[in-house]
Structure 1
Amino acid sequence: MALRNIPIVVDLNRAVRSNQEIWGRVGDNGLMALNVSVIDTSDSTKKVVDLTGLTIYFTLVYPDGTYFRDSLNVTNRIDKLGTFDYTLTANCFAQAGAFDCHFRIEKGTTIKLRSGTRDFTLTIEADGLQNNIAMPDFASDIDQLNADIQAAIAESQAQLNDALADLAKASANVDTAIVKADAVVASIIANQVVKITDAANWQKAKLTNDAGVAKAPPDVTSLAEITEQGSFYINSTAAAKLTDAPLTGGFRLENNRLISGVGIEQHARYFSTTNASALRHFFRYVGASVTAWREYETTTGSQAKADAAQANAIQFVNTKFTDSGWLPLPLKTGFTAGSSTPQYRKIGTLVMYRGLVIRTSGGTGVFATAPAGYRTSDPYLEGFVVGQQSSAAGASGLVYVKPSGDVELVAATNATGIWLSGISYYTD
């Protein structure tokens, strides 16, 4: 802690002439501190200088041309208020005399921006007990640089020692690797490993790219132009240029060269889940001529077709074989049911009748009307010969069925009842 604290105001306005005088004696050291406030009155107003991000140096030049420049003893900075303390060291008290001093403010590293305060006087009185003290040039930033260099050298030496240790370990590993490499070479020589230069055994066609995935396709407009062996990913952009792809959208192309080496078997596999045509597989032959694409059947496609066939079969059965069962046949006036109830029935499109109709007056005429859906589609009359409830030989009646649904007894051998069995027709 300094014994003397001297407040001092320094102005960046160099037109100011009335700066403070500081005094000491030869041999003083470390007991005098300047409590510095930095202001700027260049525009006729007193402004506090914000020292944030700036480096502050104390500078003194001796009559013999040597100098003292120091930033290490700047302490207690309050940058926003423009204040700091500077403790004067032995270098400042080396010679008797009046010395001009100032503070220099710098900013930047490679390119520095500088500004200095107006000089103030440091007066050093002689000491009868000792002479002037010889002082060489001193710059605290140079001393700091030397200290940094020494620290860097020490750190580099430590890193070098670590690197030498790693090198020794790596050297041991290299020796082990050499032994393994010798074993591999021996295996190659013994033909246990195929050499790249071995034309007889080495696979010459790359089936994938170096990462093991499908290769990018060449820029072509026809898949028939791709005769290289291997697997290619045809993205949507490349697919849009093609004129002979089986479907639109991206897919994987697989080229398998045939034994003869002349033709190519091409497979186009659509697999993207975003493609409406996903999970479909096409193939064709590309040689002197190009065959049409053919598609492999999948379990999904087979099931869809089976489901459609089943639906059609159910619809067919429902249409052709639906059975209404026997329904009672309403009779008109003049006709009544016999011992066998008159009924009608439709199976699919076939309408049938059965039962005994009694003629209460023994006459002829329309005795029943079939409802809609049970009528003949024949535009002409349907005529049926039916038996009579009679023991007389050849007793029979003639029944017409009309498109309107009317069922009419046109004639009969005698006045007995008529049997409806044998009357049948189709509605379609």
Structure 2
Amino acid sequence: MSALRKINATLDLNRKSWNIERIEAIQGDIDSLMIAVQIVENGKLKNLTGYKATFAVVLPDTINYVIDDLHFSNEKMDEGYFEYTFVKEAFSVAGVYDTARFILQNEDGTELSGMPRFTYYVEKDPLQGKVVAESYVSDFERLEALIHDVELEIDSLHTEIDKESARLNTEIEKIDAKIDTETSKLQSEAADLQQQFDNINPEQFAQKTALDEHVNDADIHVTVTDKTNWNAKETVEGAQAKADKALNDAKVDAAALYEPKITVTAWAAPALKTGFSILSSAYPPLYRLKGSTLQLKGAIGRTSAKGVMYTLPAGYRPSERRGFSTPLVSSVSGTVATIYIQPNGDVELVAASQDSPVWIEISLDID
């Protein structure tokens, strides 16, 4: 891996111009280049508290792109300063990257105006061979991390269930062993009694008067209540039923903990508004929920139409307006569009750099 280089850049919002040295990289560089950005307005440092920075660029001569809000250092946004480390996908294709820009979006969804593009250059590396251009969206990286955390939690729950099952099996084995011991003891006592009866001499029988005295002695006889209490003692079937219930309860409790976290709905097609259409049956506009993450994809045909493209149903809507930059389906390099996803479910095309179809590939947390 190359040593990290830092490029200092200053953006004057009044002039909408960059003061930046030439940025050069080699195809395939990984974690090799950082750009340190200072934004000024009216000769003063611009307070960017509450703004979230996103880096966006379209790869030269492709329809692929990079949209990244993950690899930023934002500790000094109140001084108009932030640092961004380029992801490897930003250097995956050799050529001139003249569509690079930073998008600064406030908490209310508004964007900071006066943010011009800047250019950087990527030199081809013969050692890399043929490199396949791929798009990069940082939200997918976050989603993968969340899925990994859920998988770890599920593994932990499975381990707990296995431990509980093993403990219950051990308890059942102890109960079975105790029952076997008691049964053997009773059988031995019964055999001894039988032997005693076999050895009885009739002359040893008690007189009827003595027998009557014994019959009428309530203190030495087992009552119905005593028999009921004896029958209430644990049986093999009762112990097994209790063990089965405990195991099933443990499985239900464990399932209730993790199954809601990995609920995935089926892909659904929205009803497009007037002026918008399905560009291709190979890439129809679709949406779904994966846990609490809303995913949108597909290509939407249009000419010059703007506004609400379609409306998401209840349960698929964010709690506040979210804004995204997304590419247009065009052979012209650098064409982009701005899309808002409103709390009422409207997926709205706010702006587009030219009259071309819109390519949507968006993920967001609706919590």
TM range (shorter): 0.3 to 0.5
Structure with larger RCO (C-alpha < 8 A, sep 6+)? 2
TM-score (normalizing by structure 1): 0.34
